[in-house]
Chain A
Amino acid sequence: MLQIALLLLTCGLSRYMWSVNTSVARVIISFTVLGTLFYIGIVVAGTSLYECPFQTPASIGLRYLRDSGMARKILARLSPSNAIQLIYASQKITRRLVVKMFGPSNIISFMYTTWMDTRQGFVSTFHHIYDIMRYPFSRETPLSCIVTSIHRISTKVGYQIIITLLRIGLAIGDATQRLVQEIRRLRPAVLLPVTTEDAHHQPRVITVNHSTSRKVRHQIIITLLRIDRVIGNVKQRLVQEILRFRHVALLPVTAKDAHHQPRVHRNGPGLRVYVQNLEALQRQNDDNARCVYWILRKITDPEAIDSDIRLAGTIRWFDGDSNHNPPYDSIVSTFKTCFDSAKQLYPGMRDRAYFSARAILQINVRARAQSHEYASKYSVPPIPWSSFKHTDPDLHHVLHMLKRNSGTHGPILRFPRGDTNTHAHSLWMSNLFMDLTRVAPNPTLKSYKSYLSAAVTDHRPVIANILLLWYMFLGGHVEEETLWAIDKSYAVVLLSLLSGWLMFCTPAIH
Chain B
Amino acid sequence: MEAIWADMALTELPSWVTDVPCNWGTAARGKLSANNWRVICTVHLPITLIRLWGGDHAPEDRKNKLENFMDLVCAVQIANLRSISKKEIELYERYIFHYMTRFKSLYKLAKVKPIHHAALHYGDILRGFGPAHTHSAAFYERFIHSMQSKNHNMKFGL
Q: Do A and B bind each other?
A: no
User: Chain A: residues with CB nearer than 8 A to chain B?
Assistant: none
